[in-house]
Chains A and B, each alone.
Chain A
């Protein structure tokens, strides 16, 4: 029999036993995909009551392997009423209705901001560690490498692309690139004339295969440049591990 399935069964059994005997321990729930990432990164599995079903999707969840075997929920109100739940972790777009109900039931709600910079990733990490009373883990996790001359950009196929003061822009710098879009801040709609102007050696694509790559102009433009697709699981949500992985992915293109 498939070992993954056996492992799955074993994990389920473990969760079941925990829920019988150690109910008080599995008390933390995360309410959306990005909160899942934080919780899965920092909290030991035995303390996790449930994560969202999205956390098990390997395409979009960095910690999908860790999430398999854990209890999952779909964000339905009735799934969230279990008295075992003591703390809920969510991002700042949490539905006020759900927030209200959970608060009334005495659940502690920890709201995380979506980090827009590397500094904010660290801040949110420290914040969550403190809030959940976890053991301090190694800090200052993003060492800066030497700067190369190579210019690169991150480009969203729908046009929306990250500029200077964004997580992806900073990741480019940390990975040793010069960010071709550093002259604007935040996210911006980019048309191809702007990419041409930025003249990057590497284009990191944000949104899977795009019809753009069949366009004659794009084909010619990319002839002497590299096009690298960034996996969704490292660009959708940002916690320490995803950002680290993002930087590593970018770094690899130097050697290849």
Chain B
């Protein structure tokens, strides 16, 4: 695990440096406008990496927590809540009123859903409740989003909503980044502290309790950590798919399937994948218009299917 993390960390660091030199601006113009590096490429790099880390980490935590390799950070409804808040503000035409209008609205949605999930899971701390509630929340929030789209009289607002939903790391200011990243880091720390619980959970919820995990506490921390890791970032960036499902799945064999040891490599791997995808988007932007979420899904899905089919049956755990 240590070697793997070191390697992934090294790759990520190299990519972070390299990404500053990727863009469409010719070098002579770049030298005249050095602020492009600091005001455009640097925050873009930071936001891509932290989104990737959040997705990789939350994916690994959630899969370990629910003991289900199909779990994906979106299943709890937190991302949908962020999206709904943001979409509502865009549809009302307030998206341009302030730099923080959209992300703050998204975070209001996240706070609401988190509070609801937290209250519910303190009453019924079990995975089925979490999955079913997430399913219900996702379809409710999805319906509300569709409603907003259909009610919106402004075709440009609808276009903006659709583009926003596709997710993009571009054009976020340093101020926004400085606001969002500390919140995410707080979420990462909370999730990181769930390592022991994840380890014990691999023997089932009952054994986890026997070994000292408290159901109420672990669901509380899970929801809080997920909300902080995902909520602010999704509110700013939009929904970027598939990294949270793919990366933990890909790296699990390298840590001998140990759910706690998966967290760090998965977080780093998520950062690499998000940043690499964004760099590809930028490199190709003169030839083809791609959105980073589209690219991750396009690249990820066939690879994921390949891994799934290649795997020996025994490693499909208990499903």
Direct contact of A and B (CB under 8 A): yes
Within 8 A of A (CB), among B169-205: 170-171, 173-175
Q: Which of A191, A211, A213, A220 contacts B24 (CB 8 A)?
A: A191
* A60-B154, A189-B285, A220-B35 known; A158 vs B99 contact (CB < 8 Å): no
Could you tell me the distance between the alpha carbons of A207 and B91 in the complex, rounded to whole angstroms? 12
Interface segment, one of A20-28, A99-107, A192-200: A192-200
Contact B98 A191 (CB under 8 A): no
Contact A196 B33 (CB under 8 A): yes
Closest to B172 in A: A215
Could you tell me the distance between the alpha carbons of A193 and B170 in the complex, rounded to whole angstroms? 10
- Taking the complex as formed, is A159 at the interface, i.e. its CB lies under 8 A from any CB of chain B? yes
Q: Which of A160, A197, A208, A220 contacts B93 (CB 8 A)?
A: A208
Q: Which of A59, A159, A189, A215 contacts B99 (CB 8 A)?
A: A215
Q: Which residues of A contact B99 (CB under 8 A)?
A: 211, 214-215
Contact B289 A197 (CB under 8 A): no
Q: Which residues of A contact B98 (CB under 8 A)?
A: 211, 214
Q: Which of A54, A192, A196 contacts B153 (CB 8 A)?
A: A54
Closest to B26 in A: A197
* A208-B96, A216-B173 known; A232 vs B40 contact (CB < 8 Å): no
Within 8 A of A (CB), among B4-32: 23-26, 29
The digit string for A175-198, where 1 denotes a CB below 8 A from any CB of B, is 000000000000011011110110
Closest to B290 in A: A189
Closest to A235 in B: B156
Could you tell me the distance between the alpha carbons of A84 and B157 in the complex, rounded to whole angstroms? 36
Q: Which residues of A contact B25 (CB under 8 A)?
A: 193-194, 196-197
Interface size on B, as a range, is 35 or more
Within 8 A of B (CB), among A200-256: 206-217, 220, 232, 236
- Residue total for A at the interface (Cβ-Cβ under 8 A): 32
- Taking the complex as formed, is A72 at the interface, i.e. its CB lies under 8 A from any CB of chain B? no
Contact B24 A215 (CB under 8 A): no
Q: Which of A57, A59, A193, A217 contacts B23 (CB 8 A)?
A: A193
- Taking the complex as formed, is A157 at the interface, i.e. its CB lies under 8 A from any CB of chain B? yes
Q: Which residues of B contact A60 (CB under 8 A)?
A: 153-155
Closest to B153 in A: A57
Most buried by B among A156, A160, A212, A217: A217
Contact A217 B96 (CB under 8 A): no
Number of A-B residue pairs having CB atoms within 8 Å of each other in the complex: 94
Within 8 A of B (CB), among A82-118: none
Could you tell me the distance between the alpha carbons of A188 and B99 in the complex, rounded to whole angstroms? 24
Q: Which of A160, A211, A217 contacts B39 (CB 8 A)?
A: A217
Contact B289 A209 (CB under 8 A): no
Interface segment, one of B66-74, B130-138, B159-167, B252-260: B159-167
* A197-B24, A207-B160, A217-B40 known; A192 vs B171 contact (CB < 8 Å): yes
Q: Which residues of B contact A210 (CB under 8 A)?
A: 95-96
Q: Which residues of A contact B97 (CB under 8 A)?
A: 209, 211
Least Cβ distance of B57 to chain A in Å?
28
Least Cβ distance of B44 to chain A in Å?
9
- Taking the complex as formed, is B280 at the interface, i.e. its CB lies under 8 A from any CB of chain A? no
Q: Which residues of B contact A191 (CB under 8 A)?
A: 24, 170-171, 282, 285
Q: Which residues of A contact B35 (CB under 8 A)?
A: 217, 220
Q: Which of A196, A215, A232, A236 contacts B173 (CB 8 A)?
A: A215
Residues of B within 8 A of A (CB): 23-26, 29, 33, 35-36, 39-40, 93, 95-99, 101-102, 153-157, 159-160, 163-164, 168, 170-171, 173-175, 282, 285, 289
Please, could you name 19 A-B residue pairs with CB atoms under 8 Å apart, sorted by A? A159-B163, A188-B289, A193-B25, A193-B40, A207-B156, A208-B93, A208-B96, A208-B156, A208-B157, A210-B95, A211-B95, A212-B96, A213-B96, A214-B98, A214-B99, A216-B173, A217-B35, A220-B35, A236-B155
Q: List 11 extra interface pairs beyond A208-B154, A215-B173, CB under 8 A.
A: A57-B153, A158-B160, A158-B163, A191-B282, A193-B36, A196-B33, A196-B36, A211-B99, A216-B174, A217-B39, A236-B156
